[in-house]
Amino acid sequence: MSCHSSVTHLHVSPVGQAERVPVHLLPCEIEHNGPAQVSQYFTATMKDHKGVKAVSFRGRGLKGQEICCPAGYTGLVLKDTNKPGSDQEDRIVRVSSVFDKLTYWNLDNPPTSDDTVVMAMDWPELAEAIHEPIDE
Amino acid sequence: MTTKKKRTPNTERSGWVVIAPDSVTDKNKHGSDPVFLRLRNPSTDGASLYLLGSGDEWLYEVKAFEEEFHSWFVGEAVQRDGRLVFVTPMDPLFLILPYLMKSGREGKFQPVDQVVKDEDFPACSRLLSCSCSFLHIAEEKEVGGLKFHRYSQERTMNWLKKKVERTAAALKTKNVSVGEGVKSTTYIRIKSESEGREEDYLRYAHGLISEYISEALSKALLKHLGLPELTSPKEAEPPAKKRKLSDKPVEAGEDYTKFNSADFARKPPKKMTAAQKTLAKVDKSGMKSMSSFFSPKSK
């Protein structure tokens, strides 16, 4: 009896064909998963002033900025391909879209390099210093 | 009192927004797909999510960056789950080390495939396909073309020391704030300012490496680095309690969407006595882990 034997396969073959999409990280929880008219009602009202973006969302002014994925890294959006409730032990996820930059939005504060998501982007470089094999 | 709007639990399976090295998706060299799997976390001893890629040659760590009340717009769709998942290369020796240490107590040279075995995590044997050198953590004997290994504390300490030094150098290059706001009137520095900074970087790096080793090994490493042990409210906490807190997100269920977010989550503030507060001021630098790395810098 083992409790950790199931694995999840990541289908990477469609990465080349995966759609490149704009990605926004919003400072609120939206209780919905699924289609929304993002470009019509959100992106269309976006303004850009010296690298700082502004947008109005549900009557709240958001300030944001675009940040790039670290060098050598790609953004992937993974989707479950198994039908809900299926009993299959191993799961399969596929790459549904890709991105190499994302826009994050703050509620009140203008974006700065101290924003946590900006600092999180430093993690891969630090992880490499920690984990790269030591020469013999 | 403000009333909080009740939120429906997020039970639907949505997508995951992931940042991964190109080596994960580069499939040209190998025919097989990467797999997410659970392995024994060397620091917490519980289950954590990892990824094996390139035909089990490369191991990756999976960590979720998570802030409350966030969601994504992905193209023309909403994704409620606002986590950003980082997949980063991981040294497989960190996961192999606990198995070698355990068998090392017998003091015998043994074949690694008989040592790296785990009833709870049968997939751990796949780690042996990863490219890594056991010579960093073990002595080797070759008999009749077969290799046998025995855990070496001395080699392990030297290997970990090199890792701490390299990490400290990277922190310096990245100019990560490690020491500011740590000074206190009750703590008198005898060393020069630059020496003090060096020690701050080493302690911070030691804190980062300690996320991948057992508490006992972390203490031994501190000694090996020539850094005195500091007592703090965090360290004074019983280890069991500390562990429970740190691996809660991974033990919460079998759903693999529960990523290893403990290191990114901000710990709830604890009530401290005045004396503990003073102590906390003094030794913050050595205790910093990923959670503080992602907290706003002290102004």
Chain segment B154-190, per-residue pLDDT in tens: 999 999 999 999 999 999 888 777 754 444 334 444 4
Question: Does B163 sit within 8 Å of A91, measured CB to CB?
Answer: no
Chain segment B74-116, per-residue pLDDT in tens: 999 999 999 999 999 999 999 999 999 999 888 899 999 999 9
Q: What is the mean pLDDT of residues A88-110?
A: 90
Mean pLDDT of chain B: 76
Strand partners, B149: B110, B140
Class of domain A18-28+37-83+91-131 as given by CATH: mainly beta
Nearest-by-Cβ selection for A10 from B34, B91, B166: B34
Chain segment A54-64, per-residue pLDDT in tens: 999 999 999 99
Nearest-by-Cβ selection for B14 from A11, A33, A69: A33
Range with lowest mean pLDDT among B140-154, B211-225, B278-292: B278-292
d(CA B188, CA B169): 25
Whose tokens are 């009896």? That residue is A1
Question: Does B294 sit within 8 Å of A120, measured CB to CB?
Answer: yes
Residue B76 touches chain A, beta carbons under 8 Å: yes
Confidence class of residue A5 from pLDDT cuts 50, 70 and 90? confident
Confidence class of residue B124 from pLDDT cuts 50, 70 and 90? very high
Domain boundaries, given as residue ranges, for chain A: 18-28+37-83+91-131
Cα-based distances in Å from A123 to A27, A49, B114, B164, B218:
21, 28, 35, 16, 21
Length of chain A: 136
Domain boundaries, given as residue ranges, for chain B: 152-230
Q: Is B183 exposed, middle or buried (0-12, 13-18, 19+ CB in 10 A)?
A: middle
Taking a C-beta distance cutoff of 8 angstroms, is the pair B294, A116 a contact?
yes
Q: For position A83, what pLDDT does the model report?
A: 63
Range with lowest mean pLDDT among A2-6, A56-60, B170-174, B224-228: A2-6
Strand partners, B85: B18, B64
Question: Does B18 sit within 8 Å of A75, measured CB to CB?
Answer: yes
| Mutation site for B-interface testing, chosen from A1, A10, A42 by largest number of B Cβ within 10 Å | A10
Chain segment B34-48, per-residue pLDDT in tens: 999 999 999 999 999
pLDDT of residue A45 exceeding 60, the answer is yes
Residue B109 touches chain A, beta carbons under 8 Å: no
Q: For position B251, what pLDDT does the model report?
A: 31
Confidence class of residue B282 from pLDDT cuts 50, 70 and 90? very low
Higher-confidence residue: B137 or B246?
B137
pLDDT of residue B261 exceeding 90, the answer is no
Chain B: give the shortest CA distance to residue A47, in Å: 17
pLDDT of residue A42 exceeding 50, the answer is yes
Task: From chain B, pick out residues whose CB is under 8 angstroms from the CB of A93.
Answer: 16, 36
**DSSP-derived 3-state class of residue B158:** helix
Q: What is the mean pLDDT of residues B259-285?
A: 41
Instruction: Give the list of residues 6+ apart from residue A87 with CB closer than 8 angstroms, or none.
Output: none
Question: Does A74 sit within 8 Å of B20, measured CB to CB?
Answer: yes
For chain B, give the percent of residues with pLDDT over 90.
Answer: 54
Interface predicted TM-score of the whole assembly (ipTM), two decimals: 0.94
Residue B13 touches chain A, beta carbons under 8 Å: yes
